[in-house]
Chain A
């Protein structure tokens, strides 16, 4: 079998149904982490693609009084994942990004990145529903909801995975969710910390 094809099907299928977990085949080494450490410049996405992906991630996890996906650098995580472990998803992104532009122009006569937040959300709601007016028929046969599911899953992973993979910049994601970092990395927890009687110092220096 072709492991590339099944990986693509699995991550998209898993993202749609919500449980990627271990239902994902993969290359044997964490190459994306190495790539992310080497560079935060685009490896796969073109300059315009980068901006569009970044804008979509910003609507999936928006900024409020705390950082969102843009501030956490999720687009950089996605670029490095597409360069390595998730290379099989490149066609989904290529077709999907062209589709987003087509839908955006059809509905608002502007590219996606020029739209206001509410208009961007309208486009994403249409993609998620699978009924996106203007989405190119035929093409690579990637339906809009699959593209949306892939970017949504990638954004969450970029927000919450270890920063070494290129997202979760300055632990932005872990700060938002209150995760102190890997417990063994922090030296473990005491029984008093397990019951809240003593505070835990997170990997980013604050107490949780």
Chain B
């Protein structure tokens, strides 16, 4: 440990969507910020199109992350890597695809609008859409979202359009649009935080195709790495510390968070002191750190008087259908998604389940040949997975199109993140243990949407269609459950009642007054859209409050 004790105004743990915005806003407002990120500070020159290195072997974004998973408390635990996180500066947003949705007003009021559901822990958000609306706008303009504000007739109301026009489509999305319109749906260009023209000092997209699960080589994709961190560094008030794995938040005698202890790459421990601590480690990393931070006043983890830290984990679920068409689909070009439809989103209990989600054209499983070969053939009705059948299947690659749903899963208290009792990571810290199964509502919704996706494929002129298999991510049968996701929420719920939530409406701990949680953890329910724009908007809202309160000197 250093001999000199340095105290910052704010320590932010995590530099993804939530932490990155807090860093950007607090540094701009004049606070001295230290930011800890568990992985390296990668530069665009270190990103490329290499599918084996990036996607299959995962050597770029979280090469040494370890997690464990079990279906429920009585099930055996397996060790692996189940969540699509990135540990570099910029966090998981570094390899996100850019989908930028505003949640709908009812997404903030799921308990009130649906009533209680057996086996689920539904809750209302303590904030409304109207409170978040100005911050959605701020996030869209900071991150340069490209879209058609009039395109989605089912979207939440907005005061201002998108800063950039929608991206052009590719053959795959044009065919899905054709099919969707035949079925009476209202398809529109997927809103994406990727430049459709030069914006914010960043270039327009080159449409090279290696996008979702890749770092952007030119900075056209808006991430906290390309937008927020450079702005914060330019203020000279940010001390950015990569390769810093937070292991404990310590508590002072006054009951306030006092310091953060972290390990560097050689497992050497450091300690940094700050007047406020913002935890933004995503809905897995955040509870992991809080549960490791035990003390006399918090024997079950910091800020956990409610016992809810780590609970109510939600992942979304993703029914998917891939199909071939009679012309080159060009799915290997451009963005992950060029087209979406929201006609099936609204909750309707007559369908046999509540809630819903958005449906989109999506190239995740058809954009590059290795992924195409490894995950699609097991779902394709071939007699044999090798030989002539395999080779014939591989030749379908250029004509393949993907469609999928991004659907709301219901929160359950027993779905949770805690500390694995025996498996440790490279730092010697306990691995996060994920306990997760699906509510029956999820499985019914998944089946219903799968049928609709097959219908869209048929209407789009599918020559043949199939359901890809990605064990642990896509649901395939009654016992199946997601082991992980790229969307993580719920493990530190926000709410007005300190007994039934972890943080208040300002994402400030009910228990520790200078501890803030600003990431997907605070979502009481998951919404039926990719979560990142809502994480960004909420972070702008919290930062705005933080700065105003600090000026009133009440912080």
Seen from chain A, the residues whose Cβ lies within 8 Å of a Cβ on chain B are 1, 6, 10, 14, 17-30, 33, 59-62, 64, 68, 85, 121, 124, 128, 152-153, 155-157, 159-162, 165, 173-174, 176-191, 193-196, 208
Contacts and interface: CB of A to CB of B under 8 A. Distances in A.
Interface in B371-392: 371-375, 377-378, 385-388, 390-391
Contact of A60 (B48, B168, B387, B395): B387
A68 to B, nearest CB: 7
Contact of B395 (A18, A19, A21, A176): A176
Minimum-distance CB pairs A-B, first 3: A182-B49, A188-B206, A18-B378
B43 to A, nearest CB: 15
Interface string B79-90: 111101000000
Interface string B153-178: 00000000000000011110010000
24 contacts: A17-B471, A18-B469, A19-B374, A19-B375, A19-B470, A23-B472, A26-B63, A28-B59, A30-B52, A30-B57, A60-B390, A61-B394, A121-B387, A152-B385, A162-B50, A165-B52, A182-B49, A182-B208, A183-B206, A183-B333, A185-B208, A189-B207, A194-B334, A208-B328
Contacts of B302: none
Contacts of A183: 49, 206-210, 332-333
Interface in B315-373: 327-328, 330, 332-334, 368-373
B168 A191 contact: yes
Contacts of B218: 184
A60 B174 CA distance: 35
Contact of A64 (B55, B168, B388, B470): B388
A25 B81 contact: yes
B454 to A, nearest CB: 20
Contacts of B169: 194-195
Contacts of A29: 59
B267 interface: no
Nearest to B334: A194
Interface of chain B: mostly helix, strand, loop or mixed: loop
B397 A177 contact: yes
B48 A25 contact: no
- In this complex, the interface size class of chain B, counting residues with CB under 8 Å from chain A, is 35 or more
A159 to B, nearest CB: 8
Given A26-B57, A68-B391, A195-B169, A184 B63 contact: no
B470 A180 contact: no
B451 interface: no
A22 B171 contact: no
B80 A23 contact: yes
B250 interface: no
